[in-house]
Amino acid sequence: MKIKEIRVFVVSNDLSGKVWNPKIRWRVKHSVLVEVATEEGLTGLGECWCFDLAPDALAAFIASEVRPRILGADALDPVAIAHRLNDTTTLSARHGIMASALSGIDIALWDIAARVKAVPLWRLLGGKAPRVPVYASGGLYGENKTLDDLAAELTGYIDQGFDHVKMKVGALKAAEDEARVRAVRKALGPGPKLTIDGVYSFDASAAQAFHARVADCGIATFQAPLPAADLDGMAALVAAGVPIMGLEAEYQIPVIRALIERPAVATLQFALVACGGISAGRHIAAMAAEADVPCSLEVSSTAVAQMAAFHFAAAHPQVASVEVHMVHRMLFEHFPFPPDAIRDGRLTLPERPGLGIELPPGQCRQLA
């Protein structure tokens, strides 16, 4: 089964600058999707990591550097395709953008493989049950957003069936962010889990001090408090008992191995759309399992990336949670399950072949 065509699409979410985190004021969030078609007429969907101001460079890279190299390749051998594409980066020094492009291609190829066998992807990956642990991600800063507004937002996610929520910290003075965390915990009550996300905005001493201020609020994980390169700082925080989670966009296996082995994280977080897709994710999850480190899957884009993460988690017990972003909710209306499908922090996947989701006509703009 050979690859006949690769098409690149973009879908965008206009947030108009009304919400932000410590690093980004969200104006427009672009997501890049790829559709791989075979000579037999089968298609698969995937998604690439895209936090750029515009998606054009990534789309052009896929069109000029990826597509010509894998047209005619065996669509049922994603590992060989990954080797072929990664081998080109030795001289081009284009490792990061290739990892993003490959992620979309690889997810689409696994979608095709599951469709060929007419089984859900989670079954093809060896999963035994379609139950997925999920958490609601929100709690961004916003214009005129009060503590009551923040608390109502996160308790609303609990009302939707989640038992674990995430909020941002790090954009305000420590006392102000502490007040935000305490307002949320008071509204949630003692039961639901609470993760705080520092978006790389603290140094090690400030992160440890802030965690100490809110530790009595029952912090499940403290995501990305330090700059991504500060493995020493993260390792020191983990040794001090701070439940560090990271790093969402990391794709380099030596770095991921270092995060696990030092350890510089208590929970290993990675994104299938950034690390190289399902194939690379399986390798990462196996490394984490060997060291008995739980994993969490980052998702902050479209239903395509979300479905890939759901299927992966259903097949890999090492994945303790999957992010469901409540702000970046592109194409969520096309989920193959009803809006109220989450119960007690768990989602049950349907028995649809592949990812179980199609490219919606008219909602995505083709770039290449």
pLDDT digits (tens, 9 = 90+) for 16-69: 999 999 999 999 999 999 999 999 999 999 999 999 999 999 999 999 999 999
What is the CB neighbour count within 10 angstroms for residue 134?
24
Tokens found for residue 269: 């977080």
The residues of the chain that CATH labels 3.20.20.120 are 123-348
On the 0-12 / 13-18 / 19+ scale of CB atoms within 10 A, 247 is: buried
User: What's the topology of domain 3-118+359-366?
Assistant: Enolase-like; domain 1 (3.30.390)
- From-to residues of CATH 3.30.390.10 in the chain: 3-118+359-366
What percent of the chain has pLDDT above 90? 99
Q: Binning pLDDT at 50, 70 and 90, where does residue 70 land?
A: very high
Give the start-end residues of each E strand in 181-337.
Answer: 193-197, 219-223, 244-246, 267-270, 295-297, 319-325
Distance, CA of 84 to CA of 97 (rounded, Å): 15
For the domain spanning 123-348, the CATH number is 3.20.20.120
Supply the pTM of this predicted model. 0.97
For range 124-129, the mean pLDDT: 96
- How far apart CA 288 and CA 14 sit, in angstroms, is 36
Tell me the per-residue pLDDT of 219-242, one tens digit each, with 9 for 90 and over. Answer: 999 999 999 999 999 999 999 999
Q: What is the pLDDT at residue 3?
A: 98
Average per-residue pLDDT in the chain? Answer: 97
Q: Supply 314's token pair.
A: 């259903």
pLDDT band at 87 (very low <50, low <70, confident <90, very high): very high
Strand blocks (E) in the chain: 3-20, 25-38, 43-48, 131-137, 141-142, 164-168, 193-197, 219-223, 244-246, 267-270, 295-297, 319-325, 342-343, 346-348, 365-366
Q: Give the pLDDT score at 306.
A: 98
pLDDT of residue 158: 98
Residues present in the chain in total: 368
Q: What pLDDT, on a 0 to 100 scale, did the predictor assign at position 236? A: 98
One-letter amino acid of 139: G
Task: Render pLDDT for 275-314 as a digit per residue (tens, 0 to 9).
Answer: 999 999 999 999 999 999 999 999 999 999 999 999 999 9
pLDDT score recorded for residue 75 = 98
